Structures are given as structure tokens and as C-alpha cells.
Amino acid sequence: MRFCENHREWRATVDGLKDAEPAVKGRFGVISAFPSASAVSLVTSYTSPDHKPRHLANHDPSSSLVTDPSNTHGGYQLAISSLPRPESGIGRTAVDCDALVGPFLKLLFPPDADPCNWRTFPGGWICCLPTLFHNRGELVNQGLLALYMGFIGRKDGDATLTQISAELYVNALHNLRNSDVWLKQNPHPDEIDTVLASVLVFSCIELLTSEAGPSGYISHIRGGLQLVKRFGGKLSNSVFTSTIFKALRFLGFYDAVTHQQPYFMSQPPYNTLYLARQEDPDYLMQKMIEAAVVLPNLEYDARRLYASKHTTEIQIRRAWLAAELLLGEAAIVDRQLNQCLQQMASVTPHPTLVVTLAVESDTCYLPGKQLQFTDCSSKCNWLFYWSVIVRLNRLIKHLYDISSALSSKLPDKPQLSTALTNLVKDDDVLDQYADNIGISLGAGMTASTFHAQEALIFVFNLYTYWEDRGNIEKTNWCIQTLQVLQNHDRSLDIEVNPSR
């Protein structure tokens, strides 16, 4: 089932949500932009142990929905049953959220993924929420239900589920807008956790529906990052908070790289919070992220240094020293990534290049070539490593050029140390890393909708690399792929785990 057809049907079903676009875009304001209560016709409440249902909107008590237990996507059973109408005349609906967790995760992650390793994926934090958020807030409950129903509804072509998902999402956005966290000086850590988890879930809903295009998805991420920036020193030490923080750090890194902006997560106290531990299932990925978060800042400083004008000898020398300092910081990142490589190679062997008789397609990067990884988490780790190394070495070469140009203007012609001059990798190595990224993306770029952000930044890195190298053919492939990923109407035309 392709998403684009279901999306058109869903848009027609919930046409009343069009007036809510500013809210759907994830802008934490403009409550008046939400549709009136009449536009939301179904009440859905969440029930869990010791959790009291709440009213969300109007609902016809005679309605009910039972999905086929023999459904091929996990055999789930969802029942929406009417409860006695209260005196207010508003109906109630009870939903078993737990029944949706299994099929949702099976659709989200690749078919050969080990459930024990789901947390190692970039989007793996989602599978932790059902156990971590227990009774942490109605806001998270509503968001998760909206995500589960919207995802499964689109996969199965169930317009009713997608409609319920949209209504739940609008109500959850109402609650997010009215949360006290935005106004309090010292909110309780549980309140912060609830909002952070909610904005992450909301971002996935936006990525799923593409109602507002890329802006809706990233607006939620930025909202969560601003909350982390504001209360970074007041977050709790719970596993829940750690999981949410790491997810935001990961997604915020991509946003900073894409928009070429400095990233506050590389500065104290944020760069010392929730560091990876050896026993963590996603230890290698988190260690690489901890090393890479400083890259946006180094690139930003290098661009400013390159654009600044230096006329006097003192200014030129200071600029040369600044370039040397930036290279020293890049060397630290390189050393940390090399340590990660040694650990990664011992547990996730380097993928094997296989020559096949594959038929050419628009998404094929190098026809007839595939990389075989030991598992899906290994693929995520290697892709991230190659991408960061390629970007880091582009930065190092740029700093070499700056340093060389400044040195030529000084009478004593200062030179970099041997350690710094030998920092960059050979072009042959970097070309191979770039090809590895392209082969991997071209073979399975659309395996999961929720990995679109990672795929976009991988292709973006690949584009800038091959443009610098002057390879027109591979640069054009990247441009075409970026256009597909950035066009939200076409990005819905994605098969989720088509082999399932």
C-alpha cells in the first residue's frame, strides 16, 4: 500500500483540519488557529492501569470499530467501544493502546531487525516510550495513539484510523499549547519529560502526514531543543529523560548541519549530560554523536574565518592561529571517531561489497553493486561514521586552504605541525566512503518513513562532497534524490518495509 493514495483520502476525510495548518506546523501558539469543536467529531480517550479516561471531543456513542484480528501486519486487535454517556451528553471511548505497539514497531523497523536491538536505530527511542512513559501524562498518551493509528491506518488504507489519528493530534496540540511548562520558571522534571516526549512524537506525526511539509517536522524538534536549552541543568537522571535527550541531540545535530548553524549541544553543560555508557545498546552510535556534535560549530567558525578580511600583519597572524586552533579541535574529533571505529570494527564487521545483476533504476547509485551488512543497526552505525568522516575531512581541507593562504601573507611563513598536516585522509579513501553511502542509500533509502531525516542529511553530505570533487554524474544523482526527499507530496509515495 502506498502512502500517497491514502494521504489523499485522509485529506478529504479531515478537510476541517485545513484551517488548523499553523498549529499542525508545530508552532507552539495561535490556539485560535485550531478548528472549532464541531470539526472534531470523535471522542477518543486512553485507558491504562490506574489511568482515568478523559473527554477529547464529541463522539457518536453508537459507533464502534473492530479491526480484523487476522490482519497480516501483526494480528492486532483494536476495539473502540462506547461507554455509558455521562450527564453532559458527551460520549466516551476506550482504546487499548498496547495492542497497537507491536504492529507499529513491525512496520516502523526493517523486517530482519532483532527486536532486542530496536533501540540502536536512529528512531529506536520510539519503541522505548510505551514502557518508559507509563502514567507520565495524557499528552504523551494522545501523541502515541495518534502516531500508532496514523501509521497503521495509512499502511492498511483504513480511513477511520487516520481520521482518529488527526483528531487526537489536534487535541494533543491544544494540550501542548496550554502546558504550564512554557511559563514556569522551575517546572517539575516530570512535566519537562512529558513535553519533550510529546514534541518528539508530534514530530513523527508530522513526518508521517507531511501536512505542513518539512517545516512541521523540524518545528517540533526545535521546540524540544529550546526546552532542553532552557532547563538543561534541571533535567532528571531517569532513563526516560536520558532516552529523550539523546534522541533530541541526534535530531538537532542533523538540523544544525543542514542549516549550517552552530549547535548548543556541543557546549557545557549540555555536552556532559547523559553520556553513552558501555552497557547501552546504542553505545557506539551515541559515542559517535558525542564526538560529532561539535562539527557544526567548527564549520560555522571556519566559514566566518574565511569570510573575514585581514589587512594588517597582526590580523593575519591571529587568523592563522585561529585556523590552527580549529584544526586542533578537528583533530580531537578525528581521534574520537577513530576510537569508535576500532570498537565498531570489533563488534560490527566492515560490510562486504557484492556485485549483482541488478536492474538499473532512478534510485540506483552504482548499478550492480551492493553492500551487505551484518544487521540493520550495523548499517546505521557505518552510514553515520562514513558520513561524519567525509564531512570532517571536507572541513579539514577547507582549514588547510585557509591556513596556507594566510601563511603566504606572513613574512616568516608559519607552518602547521606534522600531526595537523597528516590529519586528512587520502582522496581514494574518502571517495570509497562516499560511494559506500550512495550504494547503501540507493539500495534501501525508503525502508522506513521515519528515517527520512537521516537519509536527507546523508544525501546532502554526499552532494557537497561530490560537488567539491567535481563529479558531475554523482552530483546530479544527489540533486535528484534530494528533490524527491524534500518534496513532501512525493515523499509520501514510500513503501514502508515493502517486503513485509
| Residue position matching grid coordinates 488504507 | 157
Cell numbers at residue 300, please?
A: 560555522
Helix (H, G, I), strand (E, B) or coil at 188: coil
- Label residue 341 by pLDDT band (50, 70, 90): very high
> Is 178 exposed, middle or buried (CB count within 10 Å of its CB: 0-12, 13-18, 19+)?
exposed
Whether residue 189 is predicted with pLDDT greater than 50 in this model: the reply is yes
H or E stretch at 305: helix 295-307
Kindly state the average pLDDT of the residues 209-228.
75
Side-by-side strand order, sheet with 92-95: 45-46, 92-95, 79-83, 65-66
Stretch 263-290: mean pLDDT, rounded?
91
Which range (92-106, 252-266, 319-333) has the least confidence?
92-106
Q: How far apart are CA 4 and CA 237, in angstroms?
A: 42
100: confidence class by pLDDT, cuts 50, 70, 90:
low
SS3 90: coil
User: What's the mean pLDDT when you consider all of the chain?
Assistant: 71
Q: Does residue 449 contact residue 488 with C-beta atoms inside 8 Å?
A: no
- Any idea which residue has 499549547 for its cell? 177
- Can you spell out the DSSP letters for 249-279? HHHHHHHHHHTT---GGGSTTGGGSS---TT
Does residue 1 have a pLDDT over 50?
no
pLDDT band, residue 489 (cuts 50/70/90)? very low
**Cα 27 to Cα 183: distance, rounded to the nearest angstrom:** 16
pLDDT of 66 reads 29
- Amino acid in the structure at residue 469: R
Taking 50 as the threshold, does the pLDDT of residue 39 lie above it?
no
Mean pLDDT score, 239-248: 85
pTM over cut 0.75:
no
293 φ/ψ angles, rounded to the nearest 5 degrees: -60, -20
| C-alpha cell read off for 61 | 456513542
pLDDT one-digit tens code per residue, 345-354: 888 888 888 8
CA distances from 268 to 35, 229, 263, 286 (A): 42, 11, 11, 17
The total number of residues shown for the chain amounts to 500
Confidence of residue 193 (pLDDT cuts 50, 70, 90): confident
Supply the Cα-derived Rg of the chain in whole angstroms.
25
Distance CA 265, CA 272 (A): 9
Please, are residues 305 and 323 in contact by the beta-carbon 8 Å criterion?
yes
82 within 8 A of 43, measured Cβ to Cβ: no
In DSSP terms, which residues pair with 46 in a beta bridge?
95
Query: Helix or strand or coil: residue 354?
Result: strand
Nearest to 224 by CA among 205, 240, 201: 201
Residue 239, helix vs strand vs coil? helix
Residue 8 has pLDDT above 50, yes or no: no
Question: In this predicted structure, what is the pLDDT of residue 82?
Answer: 28
Answer whether residue 422 shows pLDDT above 80.
yes
Taking the C-alpha atoms of residue 122 and residue 132, their distance in angstroms, rounded to an integer, is: 18
Predicted confidence band of residue 377 (pLDDT cuts 50, 70, 90): confident
- The H or E element that residue 473 is part of is helix 472-486
Q: How many angstroms from the chain centroid is the CA of residue 199?
A: 12
Over the stretch 460-471, which tens digit does the pLDDT of each residue have?
889 889 999 999
Measured distance CA(391)–CA(50) in Å, rounded: 50
> What burial class does residue 213 get, using C-beta atoms within 10 Å of its C-beta: 0-12 exposed, 13-18 middle, 19+ buried?
middle
Q: Which of 148-152, 243-247, 284-288, 410-414 has the lowest mean pLDDT?
A: 148-152
For residues 256 and 74, the model is more confident at 256
Does residue 372 surpass a pLDDT of 50?
Answer: yes
pLDDT at 111: 58
Alpha-carbon distance of 445 to 4, in angstroms, equals 17
Q: Which amino acid is at 183?
A: L
With bands split at pLDDT 50, 70 and 90, how would you rate the model's confidence at 250?
confident
Contacts of 312 (CB under 8 A, 6+ apart): none
Is 80 exceeded by the pLDDT of residue 446?
no
The Cα–Cα gap between 209 and 222 comes to: 19
* pLDDT above 80 for 109: no
ω into 22 cis (within 30 of 0): no
Given a cut of 70, whether residue 355 has pLDDT beyond it is: yes
pLDDT value of residue 156: 76
195 contacts 179 by C-beta, under 8 angstroms: yes
At 106 the pLDDT is 62
Least confident of 67-76, 335-344, 376-385, 424-433: 67-76
Identity of the residue numbered 304 = R
